[in-house]
Every structure is written in C-alpha cells, then in structure tokens.
Amino acid sequence: MSTPSIVFKDATGDNSKTIAGTGTINIGGGLINSSAFGTGDAGNNGRDVNMNVVLAGSGGLTIAGHGNATANGGGGGGSEFRLGAANTFSGGLTITSGLVSWTNEANFGDISNVITLNGGGLLYTAAAGATAHNIKVGASGGT
C-alpha cells in the first residue's frame, strides 16, 4: 500500500495554487509536498499554496512546505503553505520544511494532534491568536 501524497512541482511564475471544494481529502498518514514550489520574490508576488479543502484521516500528516523559514527570512513574502479549512485528520502534524500558515485552531485537525516542527515553521496570519495544540521542536529545528 502506498502512502497518500499531494505534490506541487511548479517552481516558475508568480502564481499561487489552490485546492478548494466542498469535499474531503483523506490524506491520513500521508505527505503534502510543496518544497519545489519556490519562494516568491521581493515584491511579494504570489507563490502560495492554499489548501482550502478538509484534510481527513488517521496516521498523521507531514507537510514539506516551501518558503523561507529562517529567522531572518521573515515568512510570508508570497511563499507559504496555507491551511485554510476546519481539518479533521488525527495522528499529529509534522512540518519538515518551509512555512505553514494558519488562521484558526481547526486548521491543525484534531485537538489532540501534536505539531512537530522539524525543519519548518508556523506563521499565524490573523490579527492575534494562540493554539491549544502542543508544539514540539524536532532535531532539525523549527521557526
């Protein structure tokens, strides 16, 4: 049985990609990889990936994002992976590269999910907020 995955490979242009709809993607135990998608440019031209569909399933989710997650990279800059739905997946969330932005607690799936930053980072994009999810920093660090 193969691991479910979604891969974004376009690393050219100034356009964002969006997956949206009223359905659900069962990605439990799988990977979403936008690491080859690029980092945008200084003019904030869009290189965002918008995941605006419910992600469901068990076994956790790993995101290998794109963008600059370094302390001086500043985030955003038109290059982030955006979780935009009230997700229901369980088993944890691991971010291995890039920036994953969020605006709502439900973006992280089940409230028991531990968020592991292992080379990637989180970017909160609403006015103010906090998460009740536990956050763990792995061996590759996090932002």
What DSSP string describes 68-87? --STTT-S-TT--EEE-S--
Q: Cα dist. 81→1, 2, 114, 138 in Å?
A: 27, 24, 18, 20
Residue-level pLDDT at 42: 52
Residue-level pLDDT at 137: 94
**Whole-prediction pTM value?**
0.85
Residue-level pLDDT at 35: 80
Averaged over successive runs of 10 residues, the pLDDT of the chain (143 residues) comes to 72 70 85 77 64 93 79 57 93 92 93 95 81 92 80
Residue-level pLDDT at 70: 57
